[in-house]
Structure 1
């Protein structure tokens, strides 16, 4: 999967995923944006929940914490975030289905490792005292907070009835044009660290492979759309001060 992520990473610098700001008819029929996000995100929540239910380790404290952290994110993504979206945007059905498939595979990968494949005794209660768990958890929540704050800023750029476009400001948008993506990358990097697992690393790599090229596309679009205002601010694409 990591090798595929590299291919996707390169490809997305040349082919824009046609949803959101880059919506395109070439991706085929589109459906309601809220419904699309729900369809994409709920399978991973359900998949990991199923692994937890089936696992003999379901009440072991460390796997349970991993499960709760992961599900907090996807509960919000599937059952809260879509219905907070404003506007009447649509998402191509092809992208919705691809997202649903990836999320299902990811839920399977995380659940298989956390609840079945990880060595017996690896995630004992002592794991909670390890540097990787403590540091990873702090990074995870830092990313989550950045992601939630950035989504809030985007949702409130326009007042009801306003159809103008605005360059986001505030929070990490003072440093990058895709602060929400930065938050999500940080969040899943933290998860990879706190679980200290290849499944976590693969997911973090996939997240970057998907979001970094898209952040580049958004950066270029903002540079054209906002011109002088854009270049008055020392903005990067997704990683503050770096890229």
Structure 2
């Protein structure tokens, strides 16, 4: 894989500049996505539409689209000269990333019960994003990111790591609640209860936003910041859409429950 990278980039300086430009592209995409989502929901799940192509089975779509976010970084760590992977801060940050995507790509898709098919365009865009972001995050952390020797005891790292862990646990627990809303043979939607769903409609989205915000704080890089902001834009829009949908569908939906931020929003 080093041979491939050497063909793509004439020097490490050029690759690092490319990684920075990729982050700037993601910032731009976050802004464009924010404007787009003011007028339309992300077209998957309950908002899937035939306008975005033929449907792809939900389990297959989630597995295939998320897999590059695991496999591309794995190849970078195992089969390139990963100069920084021997350093503790880099190891811990890479472990945070892999912990999420092992669960999201290798476990979560096989736990899905039913689930609406994903339009092929949404599926393809998610696949491309996972390739793009997986390379950007892990190539930077494994080969270029430099931290002070005491970084793991720095307040930014500790706070970020705690936020990441809390967000990860909320995300996984909320997914578990959603999967178990229906008993075998049941169809239709139900009001989720328990965990952070007692406070917000988008508990799973709140968990993932918190997770990557913590990761960005611990990483202290433009690449991780771009990822956190893009994630927040997409998932906050989805949380608001879910909240409005629940209020319209269920007359007994808890009026005190917020969309994304407990007690506030």
Regarding TM over 0.5, the answer is yes
Contact 1:58–1:115 under 8 Å retained in 2: yes
| Match for residue 44 of structure 1 among 69, 72, 84 | 69
Moved more, 52-61 or 27-36: 52-61
Which residue in the other structure is 2:45 paired with? 20
2:242 maps to 1:242: no
- How many residues in Structure 1 have an aligned counterpart in Structure 2? 238
Which residue in the other structure is 2:139 paired with? 112
**CA-CA distance at 1:233 after TM superposition:** 3.1
| Match for residue 171 of structure 1 among 171, 195, 219 | 195
Distance, in Å, in 1 between the alignment partners of 2:105 and 2:166 is 20
Question: Runs of 4+ in structure 1 displaced over 6 angstroms?
Answer: none
**CA-CA distance at 1:10 after TM superposition:** 2.0
Which residue in the other structure is 1:32 paired with? 57
Which residue in the other structure is 2:238 paired with? 214
Contact 1:62–1:128 under 8 Å retained in 2: yes
Q: 1:49 to 1:29 in 2, by over 3 A?
A: same
Indicate the RMSD between aligned Cα atoms, in angstroms: 1.3
Contact 2:44–2:118 under 8 Å retained in 1: yes
Distance, in Å, in 2 between the alignment partners of 1:28 and 1:202 is 28
Which residue in the other structure is 2:208 paired with? 184
Distance, in Å, in 1 between the alignment partners of 2:50 and 2:157 is 44
Q: 1:28 to 1:49 in 2, by over 3 A?
A: same
Q: CA-to-partner distance for each residue in 1:89-129, whole Å, 9 max, x for gaps?
A: 311111111001111111111123212332xxx32542111
Q: Which runs of 5+ in 2 are unaligned?
A: 1-25
Q: CA-to-partner distance for each residue in 1:65-94, whole Å, 9 max, x for gaps?
A: 111110010011001000000015311111
Contact 2:85–2:143 under 8 Å retained in 1: no
Q: TM-score, normalised by structure 2?
A: 0.86
Which residue in the other structure is 1:73 paired with? 100
SS of equivalent residue, structure 1 residue 123: coil
Q: CA-to-partner distance for each residue in 1:184-220, whole Å, 9 max, x for gaps?
A: 0000000001111111110000001111111121111
| Match for residue 82 of structure 1 among 109, 121, 143 | 109
Q: 1:33 to 1:22 in 2, by over 3 A?
A: same
SS of equivalent residue, structure 2 residue 150: helix
Contact 1:63–1:114 under 8 Å retained in 2: yes
**CA-CA distance at 1:16 after TM superposition:** 1.6
Q: TM-score, normalised by structure 1?
A: 0.94
Q: Which runs of 5+ in 1 are unaligned?
A: none
| Match for residue 199 of structure 1 among 213, 223, 230 | 223
Distance, in Å, in 1 between the alignment partners of 2:201 and 2:118 is 21
